[in-house]
Homo-oligomer: A and B are copies of this chain.
């Protein structure tokens, strides 16, 4: 057993993980179910927008030239000759000082070239007057002014947000190609773990990492598959993981990754023929995180300690899954924040501290979320971000500037910024 693991830098560990990952195959789904998925093809405009010159206001469509010379003292009166409701057209040809009554979004008939808002008129039965001249195109949305056929509206690799769904609908893309979502198997190991309703004997704890990782996956819009071990021996573990490899795209185990006597993972990876990317990282918590690859399938060996497990997931598993799902911005945004509490602990390693993030007057404030040890579970419960403290420092005080990894955003950045 290798008791002298050599830690690698966090950024190098992240690089090793994501460099081996490829997006999953493409599948076709309905645009109404596409929110949160990643576009596998560019979304291009299938027509001009607007598709025709349309009224931008509720009012009257006129010939601009008829409004010349209008003023408060010299109001010009128009006769309402026809009307164009929204969703209809009109072939009527305006004569001098005639107007269409027109609704927002309705096509402006060819003989008109400006729209007067109701609010800009004084109305009478069948007529109205205006007090200023209108320019050609005023209050009209011109065909193609927003985009023309073929323009790329959203690029492949982008998360389909509510606006992208609206664009799919606008351009008639009923079916949309997206990357398949990974099926992720979770296996919590450790003879100390019991189910939530089992009695808590001495030395036992309830399995909290399994449900936590499930939620971390749900936060990414990925549904996990939960597995369990009937016995805590190597053969049972090997058989279960072999079964999982046939059913999932990635595996997350928790526990069993340390250097103690009962840690089976190194032997497991060897038996499977998996390639170990690293087994120790220069960070706290989560230093004993192990990541291996078997073909295209990553296996994340996260710590059994809740905070270490949580941090290992956010640092290594999340960008890997973001890449599998086809996202081109796979890393959590990192923001400058003001430290809103002391953190006096010095540490030779990069330290990741679960934090409560708040926003005041446009600035980001980060408070270490309570008790900070790798086995802490309560601090994660209050955390909506992770403070990143570089190694080798002498402790931080309230008011210091720090970096914060934002763990609760759907969008990301395209580089690891730590």
In the complex, besides A88-B192, A147-B378, A163-B306, 15 extra interface pairs with C-beta distance below 8 angstroms are A4-B119, A32-B214, A35-B214, A83-B261, A86-B192, A87-B191, A88-B191, A106-B203, A154-B381, A160-B215, A162-B212, A162-B213, A163-B354, A166-B381, A172-B196
| B52 pairs with A202, CB closer than 8 A | yes
User: Would you call A36 and B218 a contact (CB within 8 A)?
Assistant: yes
Interface residues of A in 315-333 (CB under 8 A from B): 333
A208 at the interface (CB under 8 A from B): yes
Q: A residues engaging B (CB < 8 A)?
A: 3-4, 31-32, 35-36, 43, 45, 47, 49-52, 54, 56, 58, 83-89, 101, 103-107, 118-119, 141, 145-147, 151, 153-154, 160-172, 174, 190-193, 196-197, 200, 202-216, 218-219, 258-262, 304-306, 310, 333-336, 354, 357-364, 370-371, 373-384, 403, 406, 408-411, 413, 417
Complex Cα distance, B120 from A3, in Å, reads 11
Contacts of A103 on B, CB cut-off 8 Å? Answer: 258, 260-262
Bound-state Cα–Cα, A194 to B130, Å: 35
Question: Do A161 and B408 have beta carbons less than 8 Å apart?
Answer: yes
Contact yes or no, B162 A56, CB < 8 A: no
Q: Is the CB of B106 within 8 A of A165?
A: no
Contact A58 B258 (CB under 8 A): yes
B219 contacts A35, C-beta separation under 8 Å: yes
Residues of B within 8 A of A50 (CB): 375
- Say whether B383 contacts A200, CB under 8 Å: no
Q: How many copies does the complex hold?
A: 2
Pick the contact of A335 from B153, B206, B362 — CB < 8 Å? Answer: B362
Contacts of A164 in B (CB 8 A): 381
- Is B382 in contact with A364, judged by CB distance below 8 angstroms? no
Distance between Cα atoms of A54 and B377 in the complex (Å) = 15
State how many angstroms separate the Cβ of A117 from the closest Cβ of chain B.
9
Q: Hey, which chain B residues are within 8 Å of A106, CB to CB?
A: 192, 203
Can you report 20 residue pairs joining A to B where beta carbons are below 8 Å apart?
A: A36-B218, A58-B259, A87-B192, A87-B203, A87-B204, A105-B305, A119-B259, A146-B371, A146-B375, A154-B382, A160-B215, A161-B215, A161-B219, A162-B219, A163-B381, A169-B206, A171-B206, A219-B410, A335-B362, A357-B411
* Identity of the chain B residue whose Cβ is nearest the Cβ of A369 in the assembled complex: B163
Nearest CB of chain B from residue A390's CB, rounded to whole Å: 13
